[in-house]
Structure 1
Amino acid sequence: MNGDYENGDDELEELDEDSLHNSEALPTSRPNPIVIAASVTARGGVLWLPVAGVLALAGKKKTAKRALTAAAVAMPIGHLISLVVHRQRPPAATMPARQALPEHPDSSSFPSKHAVTAAAFGTATALDDRAAAVFVTPLVLLVAYSRLRTRVHWPTDVLGGLAIGAVVALAQTGMGRSARVRATSRRLVAMVRPSS
């Protein structure tokens, strides 16, 4: 059983390494300033504050609130998972792509906390307002790509982060709906009681 797990882990690492080789999608050169800005501003979830502000100004306050809540819940979950899963960052310290970032993270590589937060915000937005998602989704994808392009994460770190963030947003939506159903049920019961 252990042998199977180790083989699977080795295959995953091999897939990660192969996908990070110099290519048109992920060259080792310095990234476009927009990619760098996406990575830097998304640190700690800061990017999503002005995005939520824009949504609120556009009359989508409820969507902005739900998206920010999902991101706020997802971020510590990502950090907790990284404390359990100890994974080294890609060995790219000398690459111009990595040197483009002012940060030099040494925490566990899995999951990408940038991706976790971005996916939670984006998924919550999409679940609440499809029109808003057209604006937010490209930003989510840009942040996720920036973590690969700047070589601070393996592809599976980013994919895992996106999945975790999406699950958090879905769970939040499910809990919200359950609470609304319970509140509606209580109101209906309260309306029926006086007449019985």
Structure 2
Amino acid sequence: MIGDDEFEELDEESLHDSDALPSGRPDPIIIAASVTARGGVLWVPVAGLMALAGKRKAAKRTLTAAAVAMPVGHLISLVVHRRRPSVANMPARLALPEHPDSSSFPSKPAVTAAAFGTATALEDREAAVFVTPLVLLVAHSRLRTRVHWPTDVLGGLLIGAAVALAQAGIGRSARARATAWRLVAMVRPVFSDHS
């Protein structure tokens, strides 16, 4: 079993300057993805575009998943107190206007992105083709700008996906119950007339 020390060592090694995560200033697209992902802002216009494309039901469900996932991520971060990567003077980190001091685990932008992306995949696979790269871009941006440890982002993605899957299960059972009640309402007069 991997302990906290092993995770920290893995995280430290993965954030070293490399081809995958250079320490220089990120591309403006990566910076924009990281900034707009905070607070779930990025997903509102994406859902709007989905609605304009005739996918209103999917847009509503995906935004709901993101809205539910966001406070879940914040609640977990209140319980899990983890320091942020100490790279304050690195160009990759200085590229962001934000200086968060909240717990690093989980990455709340990753939680929200994964919830939105998973809900999209469950509702509309066609839309998921366009949304999934955005989810991955957000996850990468939080690493590339050194705001989170890799396990923060991975944990956030897993939590967000779990929230969306749970919401879909609850929604399906609620729809099944609603359908059953409609059938009961339709059948009841038939039996009451013959009693």
Q: Same fold (TM over 0.5)?
A: yes
Amino acid at match of 1:93: A
**180, 186, 192: which one aligns with 1:185:** 180
Q: Partners in 2 of 1:116 and 1:175 — Cα distance?
A: 19
**30, 33, 49: which one aligns with 2:28:** 33
Q: Partners in 1 of 2:50 and 2:183 — Cα distance?
A: 33
1:81 partnered with 2:81: no
Corresponding residue for residue 160 of structure 1: 155
Q: Partners in 2 of 1:193 and 1:53 — Cα distance?
A: 41
1:51 deviation in Å?
0.3
Q: Partners in 2 of 1:45 and 1:76 — Cα distance?
A: 11
Q: How do residues 61-140 of structure 1 correspond to structure 2 at under 5 angstroms? A: 61-140=56-135
Structure 2: gaps spanning 5 or more residues: none
Corresponding residue for residue 20 of structure 1: 15
Amino acid at match of 1:79: H
Structure 1: gaps spanning 5 or more residues: none
Q: Partners in 2 of 1:186 and 1:18 — Cα distance?
A: 56
1:42 deviation in Å?
1.1
Q: Partners in 1 of 2:155 and 2:69 — Cα distance?
A: 13
RMSD: 0.9
Amino acid at match of 1:124: A
Q: Residue by residue, what CA displacement relative to the aligned partner does 1:152-180 show, whole Å, maximum 9, x if unpaired?
A: 00000000000000011001100100011
Task: Give the total of aligned pairs.
Answer: 191
Q: Residue by residue, what CA displacement relative to the aligned partner does 1:66-90 show, whole Å, maximum 9, x if unpaired?
A: 0000101110111111011000001
Q: Partners in 1 of 2:47 and 2:115 — Cα distance?
A: 13
Q: Partners in 1 of 2:189 and 2:98 — Cα distance?
A: 63
1:194 deviation in Å?
1.9
Corresponding residue for residue 144 of structure 1: 139
Moved over 6 A (4+): none
TM-score between the two structures when normalised by the length of structure 1: 0.95
Q: Residue by residue, what CA displacement relative to the aligned partner does 1:124-152 show, whole Å, maximum 9, x if unpaired?
A: 11100000000100000000000000000
SS in structure 2 of the partner of residue 24 of structure 1: coil
TM-score between the two structures when normalised by the length of structure 2: 0.96
How much identity, in percent, do the aligned residues show?
Answer: 82
Q: Residue by residue, what CA displacement relative to the aligned partner does 1:19-56 show, whole Å, maximum 9, x if unpaired?
A: 11111000100000100000011111001010000000
Q: Residue by residue, what CA displacement relative to the aligned partner does 1:54-110 show, whole Å, maximum 9, x if unpaired?
A: 000000000000000010111011111101100000111010000000001110000
Q: Partners in 1 of 2:4 and 2:32 — Cα distance?
A: 33
Q: Partners in 2 of 1:21 and 1:98 — Cα distance?
A: 13
Amino acid at match of 2:78: L
Q: Partners in 1 of 2:52 and 2:21 — Cα distance?
A: 36
SS in structure 2 of the partner of residue 42 of structure 1: helix
